[in-house]
Amino acid sequence: MITNSKVAYHDHDHARCENAAMIQARNVCRARGARLTPSREAVLQLIWQNHKPIGAYALIEKLTELNGKRVLPPTVYRAIDFLLSLGLIHRIASLNSFIGCPFPGSAHSDLFLVCRACGSAAECSAEGINSAISATAARAGFTAESQSVEILGLCPQCKLQATESTQ
Amino acid sequence: MITNSKVAYHDHDHARCENAAMIQARNVCRARGARLTPSREAVLQLIWQNHKPIGAYALIEKLTELNGKRVLPPTVYRAIDFLLSLGLIHRIASLNSFIGCPFPGSAHSDLFLVCRACGSAAECSAEGINSAISATAARAGFTAESQSVEILGLCPQCKLQATESTQ
DNA sequence: TCCATAAATGTTATGTTATAACATTTTGTA
DNA sequence: TACAAAATGTTATAACATAACATTTATGGA
C-alpha cells in the first residue's frame, strides 16, 4: 500500500510536503512537455498549503488576496483542469474540492480517507481494493475505467481526541 | 455479492423494477413511521423511470411537466432528502445525481458501476470491497463511517457495441 | 368534533459550483 | 520578425443547492 496517511493526519514539517510536491510537479511537466506557468504553480501551491481538500472558490479568494487583484473563476478552473490532467491534483467529488496528489507520475488508482472532523484527507493506493473492485466489476460484466473512492470517517488524531473528551 | 447488474444494463421488464421499488418504499416507510406523500412518491417514481442517475433539476423539469404547474427546487430537494434519509435512493456524487436503491432496508454499503456510454448504473454490495476498504482504513488508523465508491466504465451492452463497431 | 401541534409544502431569495464564448496577450518556433 | 499555438483575460450565464419564513395539511388528544 502506498499512502501519505502517516503525515497527512499528524504534525509534520509540511514545508517538506510542499517542496516535494512542487519539485515533482516540475518534473512531471518537463516529462510531459507541459508548462507550469506562474498561475498554475500558484494554484498548486495553494492546494498544497495543507492536506485538506479545498474548493475552487476558496482558491479564487486566496489567489485574489495573494495577487492583490481580482481573480475570476475561469482562471482557477483552467489551472485546476491543467493540474488534474497531469494527475498533480485530484478531485474529491463528494466535497466538490481538490487535493494535491502526493505521488503523481506513478500510475495508481486512488482512494481517499477524508476526516470529517479536521478535514484532512490521505490518499491510498491499495492493491487489495483495486483488485476487489476489478473482481466486482468483472462479475457484473463491467469494464472499469476510472474510479472515485472516498471514505468519510475519523482520522487517528481526531479519534483520539473524541475518545479523550468522552472520558 | 448483491447486485442489480443483471437487469440494469440489459433489456428487461422495467415495470417490475418500478413496482418492486414502490412496494419496498411503502414497506420501508411503514416500518419507519415515515410518510410517503404524493410528491415524495412522484419523485421516487421519476427516479425509478430507468436505471440512470438523474439530477435534481431534471427531476424538477419532469415534475413540472407532470404536474402542469411549476415545481421549485426546494420541493424536489426536500423529497430527495427524505428518500436519501430512508435509504430509498442514493446520491452519485461524481454526477450530482440520484438513483433508486434496489435493495433498501437491508444494511449494505454501496458501490456503483456507472456506464459512461449509456448512463445506466448498477449497485453492488460486495463483501470483498467492504473488507478491503476496512483493511486499508485500518492500516491508516482511520475509522471509516461512510463511503462513496463510484466506478466509471463500460457496461456489458455498451462494450459489446463498441467491439462490434470497430470490426 | 375541534383544537393544538407537528409535519409537510409553498414561496422568495440567494448561495455555491462550474463552464461557454470570445477577446487579448504571451510564448515558442520557423 | 512573423506566424501559430498556447495561455490568459473578460463577460455572461448555466447548473446545483439551501436558507428563511409563510402557509397548509395531517394527526392525536381533549
The pLDDT tens digits of the residues spanning B106-159 come to 777 789 999 999 999 999 998 899 999 999 999 999 999 999 999 999 999 999
* pLDDT score of B166 more than 80: no
Q: Inter-chain contact A140–B116, Cβ cutoff 8 Å?
A: no
* pLDDT score of A108 more than 80: no
Q: How far apart are CA B138 and CA B144, in angstroms?
A: 8
* pLDDT score of A158 more than 90: yes
Residue B164: what pLDDT? 82
Cell of B82: 427524505
Residue B110: what pLDDT? 87
Residue A62: what pLDDT? 97
**Is A149 at the interface with chain B, CB within 8 A?**
yes
Q: Which among B122, B132, B141 has CB closest to A128?
A: B132
Residue A88: what pLDDT? 98
* pLDDT score of A46 more than 70: yes
Confidence of residue A31 (pLDDT cuts 50, 70, 90): very high
Chain B residue with minimal CA distance to A91?
Answer: B94
Average pLDDT on A82-90 reads: 98
Residues of B in contact with A148 (CB under 8 A): 93-94, 148-152
Q: Which nucleotide is nearest to B55 (CA to C1')?
A: D16
Q: Inter-chain contact A136–B93, Cβ cutoff 8 Å?
A: no
Size (chain A), residues: 167
Q: Which among A128, A139, A144 has CB closest to B136?
A: A128
Contacts of A140 (CB under 8 A, 6+ apart): B3, B5, B113, B122, B124, B156
**Is B128 at the interface with chain A, CB within 8 A?**
yes
Residue A15: what pLDDT? 98
Show which positions of strand C are touched by protein (CB under 7 A).
Answer: 7-14, 16-21, 27-28
Helices (H), chain A: 5-8, 14-32, 38-47, 56-67, 73-85, 127-139, 156-165
Strand B143-154 to A143-154 pairing: antiparallel
* pLDDT score of A167 more than 80: no
Average pLDDT on A42-70 reads: 97
% of chain B residues with pLDDT over 70:
99
For residue B55, give the nearest of B37, B77, B72, B38 by alpha carbon.
Answer: B77
Contact (CB, 8 A) for A123 and A112 = yes
% of chain A residues with pLDDT over 70:
99
**Is A114 at the interface with chain B, CB within 8 A?**
no
Identify which has the larger pLDDT, B18 or A162: B18
Q: How far apart are CA A94 and CA B144, in angstroms?
A: 15
Confidence of residue B89 (pLDDT cuts 50, 70, 90): very high
Distance of A24 CA from C15 C1′ (whole Å)? 37
For residue B111, give the nearest of A139, A19, A116 by alpha carbon.
Answer: A139
Residue A150: what pLDDT? 97
pTM of the model: 0.95
Strand B121-125 to B111-115 pairing: antiparallel
**Is A118 at the interface with chain B, CB within 8 A?**
no
Average pLDDT on A55-64 reads: 98
Residue A165: what pLDDT? 76
**Is A144 at the interface with chain B, CB within 8 A?**
yes
Chain centre distance of CA B50 = 10
Q: Which among A5, A143, A152 has CB closest to B140?
A: A5
Q: Which nucleotide is nearest to A75 (CA to C1')?
A: D8
* pLDDT score of A24 more than 80: yes
Confidence of residue B167 (pLDDT cuts 50, 70, 90): low
Distance of A130 CA from C12 C1′ (whole Å)? 48
- Write out residues 84-103 of A within 8 Å (CB-CB) of B: 93-94
Confidence of residue B104 (pLDDT cuts 50, 70, 90): very high
